[in-house]
Amino acid sequence: MSKMDNLRAMREARYAEAQKRAASAPARPKAPVAPPAAGGSASTAAPAARAARGEAPAAEELCGHRNMGGRTCTRERGHAAKTHRYS
Ligand SMILES: [Zn+2]
């Protein structure tokens, strides 16, 4: 009986601790967008680095419009067609 009470107390303590931690530290510093004051070198270096890795910069050439289903338009950026295409 007391063992069960112990377990429950531990669980509740841990839960309260997690709640407290979540409330006190809401914003974890997770890779924010580089501030423009950083010299602007990041914006020019990123595509080059991506190309060096052999990744096609396809994402940059797409329209990128999102439909309601969360899909992304696969037409080229600024496409003339009035409709977006999601495939
Ligand atoms: Zn589109």
Residues with CB under 5 A from ligand 1 (ion): 63, 65, 73, 75, 84
Distance (Å) from CA 72 to ligand 1 centroid: 8
The whole-number pLDDT of residue 66 equals 93
**Closest by CA position to 42, among listed 50, 34, 52:** 34
More confident residue, 7 or 43: 7
- What DSSP character marks residue 81? S
- The identity of residue 37, as a single letter, is A
Ligand 1 centroid vs 10 CA: distance in angstroms? 53
Ligand 1 centroid distance, CA of 32 (Å): 27
Q: Which amino acid is at 14?
A: R
Query: Ligand 1 centroid to 87 CA: how many Å?
Result: 11
| DSSP string computed for 29-69 | ---PPPPGGG-SHHHHHHHHHHHHTT--THHHHB---B-TT
Domain boundaries, the chain: 57-87
Q: What is the pLDDT of residues 15-37, one digit of tens each?
A: 889 888 888 876 666 766 666 66
pLDDT of 80 reads: 95
Q: How many CB atoms lie within 10 A of CB 75?
A: 19
